[in-house]
Chain A
Amino acid sequence: MSPILAISGLSKQFGGVTALAGVDLAIEEGEILGVVGPNGSGKTTLFNVVTGVHKPSGGTVLFRGQDITGLKPHAISRAGIGYTFQQAMAFAGLGVLENVQIAGEHARAGGTANPWPTPQALLDFVGLSALGGEKAGVLPFGSLRLLGLALALATRPSLLLLDEPAAGLNDRETAALVGLVRQLPGHGITVCVIDHDMKLMQMLCRRLAVLDFGSKIADGPTEAVLADPKVLEVYLGGDL
């Protein structure tokens, strides 16, 4: 089966700095893929280029076989790729329910069967239904992260990209988030998570890809990748 997202030779230069140096990565339908790497390894740049925040310097991104390289963020979202940000965000001045309503109004027509037909159902899913009437700006940080997830899901994506979804969450909140994300493939949503928290990645992902200095240095089953000497060197330093 062809991958849902096929990234090939993707590169990005910021002035003289190479953030991505020809990355190849395939995301298979129905999986939860983890992309790990130390700070500055190009994880977020990879997301930003795929989601249209930055234009790539080279390479292509195919989504379900269609070339989406360099499309604007809103077009990427409408094509069926949802994404959340490293900084948890919502429309702070608007109500929680109104946030989800807005997010659902610009979703692509058609698409997969919607597991959450109403904004309320989506709030139920992420466990925020009691807070629907509140302003998003007053939510505690953990709830704000969940609202961010609900907003991305409201666009009815078939691929969801999560950028450090558990950053700033406590253990209980992280466990709740992991529980939610694990359900997504069952609803027809493929997930790609980027993070450097190995514990989280081990909980979520059967497959990991590792970035270092803008290049992919490992890609495979989680256990095998974590045992890879190259990966250990990146994370633990080389010979001392």
Chain B
Amino acid sequence: MKEDRRADLFESLRSLLPVLVILALIALVPLFSPSNRFLSLAISAGINVIALYGLSVLFGQTGILSMGHAALVGVGAYAAAILARDFGIGFWLALPAAALASAVFAMIVGIPSLRVGGHHFVIMTFAFGQLLAIVLTNGGDYTGAATGLDIAGPVTLFGADMTDLTRYYLMVVAFVTVAAVASWAIIHSSYGRTLRAIRENEKLAASLGINVGRHKIGAFVVSGIFAGISGVLLAYFLGHISPSQFSSFPSIYLALMVMIGGARLIEGPLAGGILVAFLPEVLNLDPVQSRIVYGVCLIAVIMLLPDGLIGGIVRALRAAFSGKPKQETEDCDAAEVRQ
């Protein structure tokens, strides 16, 4: 029994290793003196990835899709900006405060929305996302209306100024690492198992003593914590935030990133966030073209790679190594084991 558990722990630690190696490599990028434009894009991608790790708990584990997730990021960002402006509260204290604000907002949205199932929840989150954008736009001086708010506070760590682009990049990589490990820990806990049970069959889960409603709201709140932290990093990185950043399109992008990367795998959010951020850059696309490409990617992923890009790669590798194409059922086995 004890040895079983140790073997399990070893097995699950092994699943974390590839992500940690990739993140370590990503942290070495500044050694190659990348352009400021590259660093900025990478920082934006990293900030998204943090929110995506929360979304992977919600969508990948619990099976609930939020189409208003940027709103939760926005609550975090505005909380940071307002706390700095009105109370002189800086970056580090804003992190837990904004995480709390987003978590509370998630709960307020989640309690009525999660009473309705599936597609209705998607529409509810979409509506709440739009609602937040409208509220922020009409919030007068308090929210800065359509222009938004400036946030000018310095970010320091042990006395060092972190606003320098390279330093901020490294700090975001560290936050992404924490988010990845947190998401991994949730997936491999009994809590994660409970969430997967709800994803697989709510009726059966309830019959086994699982409080389905409470856990669904809980998963939404957890994803809100990730989103809130992502929002603080975004606000301090950009120095200016406005309502349109947190409305429907950014929300759709977040959902798209997690689907393209693969919501159930620990590598998925990282891959999705990086891919969607750098694809237009690599292919040299203008915003309209890139939207078209994203749309095509999403359709392709949904139709061809239900486990997302990373799930597809894992499947291809397995097929290549075993020398024959695997059956469908064993494919999802691969996905599950690698969690």
State the A residues within 8 Å of B (CB). 51, 53, 72-74, 77-78, 82-83, 85, 89-95, 98, 101-103, 105-108, 118, 135, 137-138, 151-152, 154-155
B24 at the interface (CB under 8 A from A): no
**B193 with A77: CB separation less than 8 A:** no
With most chain B CB atoms within 10 A of its CB, the pick from A83, A98, A102, A118 is: A102
With most chain A CB atoms within 10 A of its CB, the pick from B190, B201, B207, B333 is: B207
**A89 with B206: CB separation less than 8 A:** no
- Interface residue ranges of B167-210 to A (CB < 8 Å): 190, 193-194, 196-197, 199-201, 203-210
Other than the known A102-B197, A106-B194, A108-B209, what 4 A-B pairs have Cβ atoms closer than 8 Å? A74-B211, A89-B204, A94-B196, A137-B329
Q: Contacts A74-B206, A105-B190 hold; do A91 and B211 have CB atoms under 8 A apart?
A: no
- Interface residue ranges of B208-222 to A (CB < 8 Å): 208-212
In angstroms, Cα B205 to Cα A105, docked, is: 11
B332 at the interface (CB under 8 A from A): yes
12 A-B contact pairs sorted by A residue (CB < 8 Å)? A73-B207, A74-B209, A74-B211, A82-B207, A85-B207, A90-B204, A91-B201, A95-B336, A102-B197, A102-B208, A135-B329, A155-B209
- Interface residue ranges of B298-335 to A (CB < 8 Å): 329, 332-333
**B203 with A85: CB separation less than 8 A:** yes
**B200 with A92: CB separation less than 8 A:** yes
B25 at the interface (CB under 8 A from A): no
**B201 with A77: CB separation less than 8 A:** no
**B206 with A105: CB separation less than 8 A:** no
With most chain A CB atoms within 10 A of its CB, the pick from B193, B196, B205, B206 is: B206
Question: Contacts of B288 on A, CB cut-off 8 Å?
Answer: none
Question: Contacts of A103 on B, CB cut-off 8 Å?
Answer: 208
**A74 with B332: CB separation less than 8 A:** no
In angstroms, Cα B206 to Cα A107, docked, is: 11
In angstroms, Cα B211 to Cα A39, docked, is: 31
B1 at the interface (CB under 8 A from A): yes
Question: Contacts of A135 on B, CB cut-off 8 Å?
Answer: 329, 332-333, 336
Question: Contacts of B199 on A, CB cut-off 8 Å?
Answer: 93
Q: Which residue of A is nearest B204, CB measured?
A: A89
Q: Which residue of A is nearest B210, CB measured?
A: A106
In angstroms, Cα B61 to Cα A94, docked, is: 11
In angstroms, Cα B139 to Cα A107, docked, is: 48
Least Cβ–Cβ distance between B308 and chain A, in angstroms: 15
Q: Contacts A89-B201, A94-B196, A98-B193 hold; do A83 and B332 have CB atoms under 8 A apart?
A: no
Q: Which residue of B is nearest A137, CB measured?
A: B329
Question: Contacts of A85 on B, CB cut-off 8 Å?
Answer: 203-204, 207
**A77 with B203: CB separation less than 8 A:** no
Question: Contacts of A102 on B, CB cut-off 8 Å?
Answer: 193-194, 196-197, 205, 208, 210
**B196 with A83: CB separation less than 8 A:** no
Q: Which residue of B is nearest A53, CB measured?
A: B203
Least Cβ–Cβ distance between A158 and chain B, in angstroms: 14
In angstroms, Cα B206 to Cα A109, docked, is: 17
In angstroms, Cα B1 to Cα A107, docked, is: 20
Q: Contacts A93-B336, A98-B193, A135-B329 hold; do A77 and B208 have CB atoms under 8 A apart?
A: yes
**B210 with A93: CB separation less than 8 A:** no
Least Cβ–Cβ distance between B153 and chain A, in angstroms: 44
In angstroms, Cα B115 to Cα A72, docked, is: 14
Q: Contacts A74-B212, A98-B193, A105-B193 hold; do A93 and B332 have CB atoms under 8 A apart?
A: yes
Question: Contacts of A90 on B, CB cut-off 8 Å?
Answer: 201, 204
Question: Contacts of B207 on A, CB cut-off 8 Å?
Answer: 51, 73-74, 77, 82-83, 85, 152
Question: Contacts of A77 on B, CB cut-off 8 Å?
Answer: 206-209
Q: Contacts A85-B203, A85-B204 hold; do A91 and B209 have CB atoms under 8 A apart?
A: no
Least Cβ–Cβ distance between B246 and chain A, in angstroms: 33
Q: Which residue of A is nearest B332, CB measured?
A: A93
With most chain A CB atoms within 10 A of its CB, the pick from B200, B209, B212, B336 is: B209
- The 9 nearest A-B residue pairs measured at CB: A106-B209, A91-B200, A77-B209, A73-B206, A78-B209, A103-B208, A102-B197, A74-B211, A74-B206
Least Cβ–Cβ distance between A135 and chain B, in angstroms: 6
Question: Contacts of A93 on B, CB cut-off 8 Å?
Answer: 196, 199-200, 332, 336
**B193 with A101: CB separation less than 8 A:** yes
Q: Which residue of A is nearest B264, CB measured?
A: A93
Question: Contacts of A98 on B, CB cut-off 8 Å?
Answer: 193
Question: Contacts of A107 on B, CB cut-off 8 Å?
Answer: 209
**A91 with B204: CB separation less than 8 A:** yes
Q: Which residue of B is nearest A90, CB measured?
A: B204
In angstroms, Cα B329 to Cα A93, docked, is: 9
Least Cβ–Cβ distance between B113 and chain A, in angstroms: 19
In angstroms, Cα B197 to Cα A155, docked, is: 14
